[in-house]
Chains A and B, each alone.
Chain A
Amino acid sequence: MTATEQSRAAAAPASPGAAAAEKAAPTLEGPALAAARALGDDALVLAQRLGEWAGNAPVLEEDVALTNIALDLLGQARTLLSLTGDEDDLAFLREEHEFHNAQLVEQPNGDFAVTIARQLYFSVYQELLYTALAEHGGDLAPLAAKAVKEVAYHRDHAEQWTLRLGDGTEESHRRMQQALDALWRYTGELFQPLEGLGVDLPALRERWLEQVTAVVEKATLAIPQGADHTPWAAGAGRQGVHTESFGRLLAEMQYLHRAHPGASW
């Protein structure tokens, strides 16, 4: 990592007031910009979903944990999006088809088991991805090196809950298995090649499957047997095609910002 890269990564998220005053110019371009933005969208959309849990968690410790994970992801999103333009313009002024997050992260929270299954699938993926990005040494390496520590905690949290729910009561076992099954069809997309990233995503799938399988089996659950993508939509999120609930997520997230064009907050 060069000094320029270091200072760029440090400056990107840490100048909160400046965003409103003057629009940040993208520091990336072309496929690298698109790839960084897609990862930023993943983090932003999942942070938005997890933020819905605040005050609604099954136990106070989880109000703290889920909000904390949401905050980490929001921080990652701000760094990544700032590398590709103005973070608020990107978050609040793009329409559905302009977001390139994977469909997995936009799936509604469901019950706690659905949220945990989504966390398990995504955090294991994100940890492998950020580890590879940090090793790769490109523009995203400083962010990845920092974020991988956060994500390791997210993964641990998801694993612990998968074990508790899978190997807890009959009801929790049933709910956890249903959640794993229901979200399985969104996992294939994570490993579609992403041009400009410099990481071989398809190659990460095997390790992802090994890790997820180990946790799932330890939790006395089974790896889903269905397809890991929907018939017509594999990789669709990365191409700007989303599921129905995503429009409502954006409507809620964007309405206030859009209601006051040009205002500073």
Chain B
Amino acid sequence: MTTTAEPGAATAQAGPDRHTPEALQAEFDAAVAADTRIEPRDWMPDAYRSTLVRQMAQHAHSEIIGMQPEANWITRAPSLRRKAILMAKVQDEAGHGLYLYSATETLGVSRDELLDKLHAGRQRYSSIFNYPTLAWADVGAIGWLVDGAAITNQVPLCRCSYGPYARAMVRICKEESFHQRQGYELLLALSRGTDAQHAMAQDAVNRWWWPSLMMFGPPDDESAHSAQSMAWKIKRHSNDELRQRFVDICVPQAEILGLTLPDPDLRWNEERGHYDYGAIDWSEFQEVLRGNGPCNEQRLERRRAAHDNGSWVRDAAAAHAAKHRKAQA
């Protein structure tokens, strides 16, 4: 889409009618229909902008809250190689947070504003991070299942209609696929290791499987934002469609891992060409969303503490920069 944000310039090129609300809307709709990227300076409907801010902020917050459950194991990783991989992964997540906050800033909101909303509990992060990492194998289960689910969700976002988000996602998806592989490989080593290691891996998969399926969001007929987001091409596939894709990928992988997915109803359906899976306990999802998950308070508290403990550092950096600017002027 090529509309510029300066009314004067555009009017001179395109005539007076081009800036009526109807004309702008029509141009936006045409761009979305033609799969042209919407860029920050293009006109966009307010609801499109606010949907993107909500979704991108939630995504950015998820990256930085998501550092906590995994960083929980950095100091205890059982080999130096695993420690290095885990550190690299947690560092990537901080980096993803940075790209996503920057991409969100192109919509006219600052990172500080978004962080304030997160800290005040007014913006969400992915509920999956409200579950605890109780054992080393959880690092593997998060990589395989949680990052696997995230990739299934995120690959279509590389074709999202909003340019900065789509471009950030291309880079993020490349790194996420490394995260997913390291998780799988970690679990494989445990599954083929000692009995105690195998049991640790199975226990982690038992605890992470259902929450991972919930990461795709509520069933399509109950999903509040889905229809409009699909029309805007922010979202490309329905929640249930992506969930099914994820299940179909995981079942054969679990077989190779030698681990059992904790669902007695999981079986191949010849007719559908997909695996059937058991009913998801959506009451658990709703409880965690309402703030009653195992770690909701702890995660937010830790985030606020890091932010509050760092306020004197940020003040110092700002004061130093201001002095330096003054000295240069």
Q: Which residues of A contact B (CB under 8 A)?
A: 16, 19-20, 44, 47-48, 51-52, 54-64, 67-68, 70-71, 74-75, 77-78, 81, 87-88, 91-92, 111-112, 163-165, 167-169, 171-172, 175, 252-253, 255-257, 260, 263-265
Q: Which residues of B contact A (CB under 8 A)?
A: 64, 67-68, 71, 74-84, 87-88, 90-91, 94-95, 97-98, 101, 111, 136, 186, 189-190, 193-194, 196-197, 302, 305-307, 309-317, 319-321, 323
- Selected A-B contacts with CB under 8 Å, 22 pairs: A16-B81, A19-B79, A19-B81, A51-B74, A54-B71, A58-B309, A58-B310, A60-B98, A63-B64, A64-B91, A67-B87, A67-B91, A74-B80, A74-B83, A88-B79, A88-B80, A92-B78, A112-B310, A112-B313, A168-B317, A169-B312, A169-B319
Q: Which residue of A lies closest to B101 (CB)?
A: A60
Q: Are B312 and A167 in contact (CB under 8 A)?
A: no
Given contacts A64-B94, A71-B91, A255-B76, contact A165 B316 (CB under 8 A): yes
Chain A nearest CB from B313 CB (Å) reads 4
Number of A-B contacts (CB under 8 A): 149
Q: Are A164 and B317 in contact (CB under 8 A)?
A: yes
Q: Which residue of B lies closest to A63 (CB)?
A: B94
Q: Are B76 and A252 in contact (CB under 8 A)?
A: yes
Q: Are A260 and B80 in contact (CB under 8 A)?
A: no
Q: Which residue of A lies closest to B192 (CB)?
A: A264
Say what secondary structure dominates the interface of chain A: helix
Tell which of A52, A62, A255 has the most Cβ of chain B within 10 Å.
A62
Chain A nearest CB from B39 CB (Å) reads 25
Q: Of B91, B97, B186, B315, which one neighbours A169 at CB under 8 angstroms?
A: B315
Hey, which chain A residues are within 8 Å of B111, CB to CB? 60
Hey, which chain A residues are within 8 Å of B136, CB to CB? 256
Hey, which chain A residues are within 8 Å of B312, CB to CB? 169, 171-172, 175
Q: Are A78 and B320 in contact (CB under 8 A)?
A: no
Q: Are A71 and B74 in contact (CB under 8 A)?
A: no
In angstroms, Cα B87 to Cα A77, docked, is 14
Q: Which residue of A lies closest to B323 (CB)?
A: A167
Q: Of B83, B98, B197, which one neighbours A263 at CB under 8 angstroms?
A: B197
Tell which of A63, A92, A167, A257 has the most Cβ of chain B within 10 Å.
A63
Hey, which chain B residues are within 8 Å of A81, CB to CB? 80
Hey, which chain A residues are within 8 Å of B77, CB to CB? 256
